Amino acid sequence: MIDARLFEAVFSPDKIRLDEPMSAHTTFRTGGSADIMLLPSETEEIARAAEICGENGIPYCIIGNGSNLLVADKGIRGAVIKLGRGFSKVSVSGCTVAAQAGALLSSAANAALKHSLKGMEFASGIPGSVGGAVCMNAGAYGGEMKDVVKEVKVLCGGRVKSLSNAEAGFVYRSSRIMQEGMIVLEMSAELEEGSYDEIKALMDDLNERRRTKQPVDKPSAGSTFKRPEGNFAGRLIEEAGLRGFSVGGAQVSEKHCGFVINKGGASSSDIIELIDIIKKRVFESSGIMLEEEVRKIGEF
C-alpha cells in the first residue's frame, strides 16, 4: 500500500484518494482500483507528483477522461495522476483556443463555436480530454488534432517545454509526445474565423451522425481498433460474422461493429478476450491483423 503522507505536503486531502475504483474514471466502466489517485489543479502539483513517485519507486500513469483506456480487473499498482476538472481551463484569444489537458475536447470545440471559429467541428463529439486527444492525435470525420494544434506545453524530465506542431510529431493515432512519455499540460489550437450558424450546423450534423450510427448509449472506448490501411475495422469485423458476438458482458456492437461495448456487467477480462477473438477471426477471414486503438493499463 502507498503511504499517502508522501503527497500531503503537495496535495490537500480532497485531492488524494486511496484505493480508488477505476471503473468510475473510464468510459468502459470496468477495471479494479488504483492504489492512489492524485487530482492536481496546478502544473507544479503535476510535476511534484511525478517527482515524488520517481524518488520513491512508485509507478505512475497520467489519465484524463479515461475514454481510450481499459484498466485491468486487478487494478493499478501505483499512482494515477488524473488531469480532470481541476485542470480544465479553456480560453479564447483572437483565433486561438487554449485549453488545459483536463478540459473535455468538446468544451474546447464549444468555446470555438461560441467565438465563431471554425476548424474544431470534428472534435465536438469526441468524448476524450484535450491531453489524451493531443497525445494520441485523436480524430473523426476527416479531421485530426494535428490539423489545428499550433503549440503544446508538456512536462518532460521535470521541465515545462513548448512544442510546435512539427515538434509534436503527430502521426496516425500517435505522436512523439506519446512515444516519449511526455505529459501534456496545455494545447493551443489555431483556427479560422467563420460563420456561427455554419459551424453549429456542421457540429449538429456530425453529432447526429454519431447518435444514429454509433452506440453512444453504451459504455465503450469509442473505436476499438485503428483503421487498417485501405479498409475499415467495422467492415472487416462484420464480414467475419461477429456482429453482436459476445463474451460475458462485452459485445461487438450491433449498431457499429467497430465498437466493443459493455452491454452490462462486463469485466475488463471479457473485453480483452473478445478483442483477441475479433483479431483472430478477422485475420482468418481477411488476412488483416487489426491493431487496438484502446490502451491497456494496470495489473494484467
pLDDT in tens, 49-67: 999 999 999 999 999 999 9
- Distance of CA 51 to CAs 45, 80, 159, 186, 214, Å? 10, 13, 11, 20, 41
DSSP 193: E
Of 51, 82, 113, the residue at which a domain comes to its end is: 82
Distance CA 60, CA 181 (A): 11
- Which pLDDT score, from 0 to 100, does residue 300 have? 86
The side-by-side arrangement of strands in the sheet containing 246-247 is 246-247, 250-252, 260-262
Catalytic residue set: 173, 223, 293
- Per the CB < 8 A criterion, the answer to whether 162 and 135 are in contact is no
Distance CA 249, CA 235 (A): 22
Tell me: do 64 and 14 sit in the same domain. Answer: yes
Total domain count for the chain?
Answer: 3
Residue whose grid cell is 502521426: 171
Distance CA 265, CA 253 (A): 15
Q: How confident is the model at residue 220 (pLDDT cuts 50, 70, 90)?
A: very high
CA-closest candidate to residue 135, choices 221, 49, 62: 62
The CATH number for 199's domain is: 3.30.465.10
Tell me: do 193 and 266 sit in the same domain. Answer: no
Q: How confident is the model at residue 1 (pLDDT cuts 50, 70, 90)?
A: confident
- Which pLDDT score, from 0 to 100, does residue 160 have? 97
Judge whether residue 37 has pLDDT over 90.
Answer: yes
Query: The C-alpha cell of 42 is what?
Result: 496546478
Of 177, 212, 247, the residue at which a domain comes to its end is: 212
For residue 263, give its domain range. Answer: 216-297
Query: The C-alpha cell of 276 is what?
Result: 483477441
